[in-house]
Amino acid sequence: MLVPQSKGQEEHMRPAGPMEAARVIDLRIGTHQRYRYTALCFLERGALLHPAKTAVVDELGSCTYGQLYGLVRRVGSALAARGCTGRAVIVCAEKSAETLAAMLGVLAAGGYYVPVDPAVPAERARSIYETLEQPVVIVDWRTRDRARMVFPGAELAPLDELTAAPIAADNLDRIARQVVDTDPAYVLFTSGSTGAPKGVAVSHRAIVEFISTFVRTLEIGSDEVLGNQAPFDFDVSVKDIYGAMAAGATLVILPRRLFSSPAELMDALAAHRVTTLIWAVAALCLLSRLHGLEHAELPCLRTVMFSGEVMPLEHLRRWRERLPRVRFVNLYGPTEVTCNCTYQVLAPGRSYDEGVPLGRPFPNRRVLLLDEAGRLVTEPGEVGELYVGGSALALGYVGDTERTRAAFVSSPLRSLVPETLYRTGDRARVGTEGELFFCGRVDNQVKHLGHRVELEEIDAAFERQPDVERCRTVYDARRERLCAFFEGSAAIGDLRRGVERYLPAALVPGRIVRVEAMPLTKNGKVDRLRLLELDENVHRRSVTATANKGASVKSAVRQPVKSSAHHTHPLALERSSS
């Protein structure tokens, strides 16, 4: 456990001694599970069965299952006294063992937690705060001052005070008896199509249902050490947090700074003897692109799971070649289905040149591919939209009944007994062996020169070419052209000729741009809108510079722009316009 050595802005943390640890542990559990219907059941079971086992490791030390449970009960007692039962509580603190205790402590208080990354823009954080009708905000000593500015007038709950509060066991027991499994456990805010973040509310039942099947299906055991990459406000971290607790394993919280230093990151994975990575695709790509895989051996690593977007084949090849004994698993599913609904364990001898299948549904999940008329799509080559059913679906969107009704719909395949399905907005194709392959978003389908164009189809054609690590295509509606952005060393002329072998002329992008690195959203996915904005800024500077020399705007648009010492925009490596 980590306890404060002093209070205030300069507070430091040190590992707890034996006497302090004994003081914190106050299980007082009978033969039954107090939280059997809630997401806290995993931690409670771990504290009962192996209280002395290490549960969480962070930069400052480690804490056992018993110590973590004690911290959670202290936080829960303090929050309940503040009237947080049944309410949302924002957790705005840097990733740490104590931040994890704060989130779980909200559950012990009968509330639901809303992680807000301290690095998110202030306007986004304020929008979340206002949507939740001004909740209590948990802060640590590093985020306290910024929180006062971002959430003016908010009731701030310092984390060091919460973890030092006395345990009100009788009150916690009373609250636990009132919580039901359909109550919300957390809300995660994701990007909305309108530009405003949308809050996805997930129930205790959904967490318990998914995590139980996730751990059992993918055989995550008590000897595992999970290396956490994802921010706590990204649903990939839900698998790290609850998966580790459900298995009785150890969670290592990797600090954010390591992901800008591949060598240090690899050293940390080796030093902590990490066995399992459940990472966003972008994080795996970053490590391989910056040659981190060559820095150190990872003899303890057994499993790498990835999700969030399609894994580029070049990066997948590098990981598999470097770590041939490691099991790789593709996970698919949006936040609204509670993490994932399908999984694909990659076969060692298969190249996956045609792409990695979405895989089979997890137990107690229904995954359907439907056409626009609501009919099942089953024939090879046919494309439909993915719908997901089962008890792990989210409750809906916070404060947005209209959007909830549009996304959580009645199954068109049932007429007598209703069934709710989540409409993912993802399109998939049936393969020759009956496997499903992701082939883009419904909202990534554009109309260009009279053709319906799937942007992911263009991405795939580019990623088949030599020396292309990753590609993302966007549609410039103002200029009515397709723009492809790629990472890699391929010559643009060769690249254009290469993709013409796979794509009809109407689908070959009129503009191809080499980038040093793809801009990412806060959740690690490629930000297509940002790509277009950055390219537009480069275009404007190019037009202005050329116009100042007396050239026409038209000629400036047509000429490629080369990088120079005075033009160091991240997109300004090389571009070609046809």
Nearest one of 537, 524, 533, 494 to 512, comparing CA atoms: 494
Give pLDDT, residue 268: 97
Q: Per-residue pLDDT for 70 more than 70? A: yes
Give pLDDT, residue 578: 58
Give pLDDT, residue 457: 83
Q: Is the domain of 425 the same as that of 541?
A: no
Q: Is the domain of 486 the same as that of 435?
A: no
Give pLDDT, residue 557: 27
**Mean of pLDDT values over 316-321:** 95
Query: What are the phi and psi torsion angles at 460 (to 5°)?
Result: -65, -40
H helices present in 95-150, as ranges: 97-108, 122-131, 144-150
Give pLDDT, residue 561: 30
What is the residue range of 463's domain? 449-577
**Count of structural domains within the chain:** 3
- Do residues 457 and 486 make contact, with C-beta atoms less than 8 angstroms apart? no
Give pLDDT, residue 192: 58
In a domain, 515, yes or no: yes
Query: In this structure, how many other beta carbons lie within 10 angstroms of the beta carbon of residue 4?
Result: 17
DSSP 68-93: HHHHHHHHHHHHHHTT-TTSEEEEE-
Q: Is the domain of 436 the same as that of 459?
A: no
**CA dist., res. 207 & res. 196, Å (int):** 26
pLDDT digits (tens, 9 = 90+) for 394-418: 999 999 999 999 999 999 998 889 9
**Mean of pLDDT values over 260-271:** 95
**In whole numbers, what is the pLDDT of the chain averaged over residues?**
86
Domain boundary among 395, 410, 441: 441
Give pLDDT, residue 524: 74
Give pLDDT, residue 460: 87
**Dihedral (C-alpha) 163, 167, 173, 175: value to the nearest 10 degrees?**
-50
Query: What are the phi and psi torsion angles at 509 (to 5°)?
Result: -60, 140
**CA dist., res. 394 & res. 119, Å (int):** 26
Q: Which helix (H) or strand (E) holds 386?
A: strand 383-389
Q: Per-residue pLDDT for 16 more than 90? A: no
**CA dist., res. 12 & res. 6, Å (int):** 6
Domain boundary among 418, 441, 464: 441
pLDDT digits (tens, 9 = 90+) for 463-479: 989 999 999 999 887 78
DSSP state of 446: E
pLDDT digits (tens, 9 = 90+) for 383-394: 999 999 999 999
Give pLDDT, residue 545: 42
Q: Is the domain of 433 the same as that of 455?
A: no
Q: Is the domain of 370 the same as that of 238?
A: no
Q: Is the domain of 53 the same as that of 116?
A: yes
**CA dist., res. 380 & res. 382, Å (int):** 6
Cα end-to-end span (Å), the chain: 61
**CA dist., res. 319 & res. 330, Å (int):** 13
**Mean of pLDDT values over 47-65:** 97
Q: DSSP 3-state assignment of 133?
A: coil
Q: Is the domain of 289 the same as that of 401?
A: no
Q: Per-residue pLDDT for 558 more than 70? A: no
Choose between 97 and 454: higher pLDDT. 97
Share of the chain above pLDDT 70, in %: 85
- Do residues 463 and 503 make contact, with C-beta atoms less than 8 angstroms apart? no
Residue with tokens 């607790």: 245
Residue with tokens 């047509």: 558
Q: Is the domain of 82 the same as that of 199?
A: yes
Residue 123 burial (C-beta neighbours within 10 Å; 0-12, 13-18, 19+): exposed
**Mean of pLDDT values over 349-362:** 91
The bridge status of strand 303-307 relative to strand 276-280 is parallel
In a domain, 351, yes or no: no
H helices present in 431-480, as ranges: 455-463
Of the listed ranges 140-154, 274-288, 379-393, 559-573, the least confidently predicted one is 559-573
Give pLDDT, residue 503: 82
- Do residues 254 and 281 make contact, with C-beta atoms less than 8 angstroms apart? no
**CA dist., res. 540 & res. 535, Å (int):** 9
Q: Per-residue pLDDT for 443 more than 80? A: no
Q: Is the domain of 135 the same as that of 161?
A: yes
Q: DSSP 3-state assignment of 432?
A: coil
